[in-house]
């Protein structure tokens, strides 16, 4: 049997067609980003018109004994956690001190407000049930409250109706009409905080961040606005991520030498680059979507984040923004986002085998998704320009995670396949063994990639910090 000899025709190689130079599709990425911004802006405009038709949609409670600006008189008591009576069995003076402590937690447990308003004014706020009878211990509950009975000064108050979700500031709080029969619990109680409700928002000369503001939180928006806002943010982030990828691909040849290894890895390992995006953004938008079905959880996360930036360990950032000083706010934002969150908690935590920094960043994406859930009014008016900040910051975090995983993956593979060669690679004996010498070279290469990541994320987060500070202070 003779061997098969292929026809020379089949061996002849057809002339290769000239390859077209790679031209990044900037216009497609820019179109996605722009369409997302316009969708968010459209939601903001339509939501603004809808809020004008809803009573108390911008309600805010100011702390004041007298009302130089007008408003509806109100007396506030912190709502006991789980409906328990925090003052049962103690003196009025001790309860006053205890209520002062409880007031610091009222962002999470809510308030009980006795409002000096007639039945017709409160009837417009009713979503279900009935109005409390004057003089009776009965309450209107916010849409996200769960307790059916609140015990205050050993007197049980029963929930008989629910407020509309569009009522601002009372999402987890309770409301009842003030009356002389209950004055000992509110008007004449030493622990009650007097104030005024402004149903259409704070006076013009007073912003929502003033020390006089006792209670202010946005109301729930319509479900259709939440869905459209979620989609708009997705388009912005998708388009922004593609734009960044085009920048990295285009800048590879002309980039400084310190960034060459990083850009080479992004180009060569495009699947892993895309996988990092899918993982992190999947967690972010998945948590955001899940929060829309669990608004109480989203509210608590949002309250926690607000508390951290105003009174918690990140209070220096909130103070920097309150100062209206753009350089100070930029520096405070950069220190937290880059030095703490990226340099220490992402790169630093991923230096040894296990990518703890990447896991921490993944959890942060979930928490941010919960906190930014598009459930509340006036969010769209902030997100149409703040979405750019989202892209600038999150792309830097994705880059840091990509680099950290690459670094830890190689260490893990080397340890599993040849632990002896890996440890020898860390000593002078690496020059004697081929496998150890190879591992050392790869470690040096990955170290250069990480150095490029440290530099690139610093530049990206510096730009993000400057943009965020400028927009929030000038526009916000």
332/460 same-domain check = yes
Tens-place pLDDT, residues 337-375 = 999 999 999 999 988 878 899 999 999 999 999 999 999
Structural domain includes residue 4: no
HSE value, Cβ hemisphere, 13 Å, CA-based, for 107? 18
* Alpha helices (H) along 17-118: 26-51, 92-103, 106-109
Q: How confident is the model at residue 17 (pLDDT cuts 50, 70, 90)?
A: very low
Task: For residues 307 and 105, give the distance between their C-alpha atoms in angstroms, rounded to a whole number.
Answer: 10
The candidate with the shortest Cα–Cα distance to 232, out of 275, 288, 309, 300, is 288
Percent of residues, the chain, with pLDDT higher than 70: 81
- CA 244-249-250 angle, to 5 degrees, is 95
**148-152, 337-341, 435-439: which has the minimum mean pLDDT?**
435-439
Structural domain includes residue 9: no
Q: Which of 215, 243, 271 is the last residue of a domain?
A: 215
Structural domain includes residue 372: yes
293/406 same-domain check = yes
pLDDT at 34: 94
Structural domain includes residue 309: yes
202/266 same-domain check = no
Mean pLDDT: which of 3-12, 139-148, 218-227 is highest?
Answer: 218-227
The candidate with the shortest Cα–Cα distance to 171, out of 261, 61, 260, is 61
pLDDT at 431: 56
The arithmetic mean of pLDDT across residues 432-458, rounded, is: 80
Q: How confident is the model at residue 394 (pLDDT cuts 50, 70, 90)?
A: very high
Structural domain includes residue 5: no
Q: Which of 171, 197, 215 is the last residue of a domain?
A: 215
Of residues 71 and 88, the one with the higher pLDDT is: 71
154/254 same-domain check = no
227/196 same-domain check = no
- Domains: count for the chain: 2
43/86 same-domain check = no
- All residues at 6 or more sequence positions from 75 whose CB lies less than 8 Å from its CB, including other chains: 113, 114, 178, 186, 187, 189, 192, 193, 194, 195
User: What burial class does residue 372 get, using C-beta atoms within 10 Å of its C-beta: 0-12 exposed, 13-18 middle, 19+ buried?
Assistant: buried
Structural domain includes residue 15: no
Q: Which of 215, 237, 271 is the last residue of a domain?
A: 215
DSSP string covering 303-358: HHHHHHHHTSTTHHHHHHHHTT-HHHHHHHHHIIIIIIIIIIIIIGGGSSSS-HHH
- The boundaries of the domain holding residue 378 are 26-49+221-474
């Amino acid at each position: 049997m003779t061997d098969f000899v292929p026809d020379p025709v089949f061996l002849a190689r057809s002339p290769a067609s000239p390859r077209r130079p790679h031209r990044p599709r900037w216009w497609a990425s820019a179109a996605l980003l722009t369409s997302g911004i316009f969708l968010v802006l459209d939601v903001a405009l339509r939501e603004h018109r809808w809020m004008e038709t809803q009573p108390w949609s911008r309600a805010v409670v100011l702390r004041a004994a007298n009302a130089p600006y007008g408003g509806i008189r109100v007396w506030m008591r912190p709502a006991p956690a789980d409906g328990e009576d925090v003052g049962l069995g103690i003196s009025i003076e001790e309860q006053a001190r205890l209520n002062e402590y409880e007031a610091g937690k009222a962002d999470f447990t809510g308030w009980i407000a006795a409002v000096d308003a007639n039945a017709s004014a409160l009837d417009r706020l009713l979503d279900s049930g009935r109005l409390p009878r004057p003089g009776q211990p009965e309450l209107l509950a916010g849409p996200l409250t769960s307790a059916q009975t609140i015990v205050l000064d050993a007197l049980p108050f029963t929930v008989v109706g629910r407020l509309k979700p569009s009522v601002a500031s009372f999402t987890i709080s309770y409301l009842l009409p003030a009356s002389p029969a209950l004055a000992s619990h509110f008007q004449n109680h030493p622990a009650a905080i007097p104030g005024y409700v402004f149903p259409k928002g704070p006076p013009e000369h007073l912003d929502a961040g003033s020390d006089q503001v006792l209670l202010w939180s946005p109301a729930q928006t319509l479900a259709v606005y939440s869905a459209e806002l979620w989609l708009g943010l997705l388009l912005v982030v998708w388009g922004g991520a593609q734009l960044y990828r085009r920048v990295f691909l285009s800048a590879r040849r002309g980039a400084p030498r310190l960034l060459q290894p990083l850009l080479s890895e992004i180009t060569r390992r495009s699947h892993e680059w895309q996988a990092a995006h899918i993982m992190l953004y999947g967690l972010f938008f998945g948590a955001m979507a899940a929060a829309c079905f669990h608004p109480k959880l989203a509210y608590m996360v949002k309250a926690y984040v607000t508390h951290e930036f105003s009174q918690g360990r990140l209070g220096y950032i909130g103070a920097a923004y309150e100062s209206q000083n753009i350089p100070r706010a930029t520096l405070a934002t950069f220190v937290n986002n880059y030095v703490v969150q990226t340099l220490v908690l992402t790169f630093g935590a991923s230096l040894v085998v296990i990518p703890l920094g990447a896991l921490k960043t993944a959890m942060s994406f979930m928490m941010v998704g919960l906190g930014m859930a598009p459930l509340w009014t006036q969010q769209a008016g902030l997100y149409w320009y703040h979405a750019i900040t989202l892209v600038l910051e999150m792309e830097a975090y994705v880059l840091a995670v990509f680099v950290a995983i690459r670094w830890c993956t190689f260490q893990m593979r080397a340890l599993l396949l040849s632990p002896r060669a890996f440890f020898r690679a860390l000593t002078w004996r690496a020059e004697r063994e081929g496998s150890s010498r190879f591992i050392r070279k790869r470690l040096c290469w990955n170290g250069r990639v990480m150095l490029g990541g440290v530099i690139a994320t610093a530049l990206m987060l510096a730009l993000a910090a400057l943009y965020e500070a400028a927009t929030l202070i000038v526009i916000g």
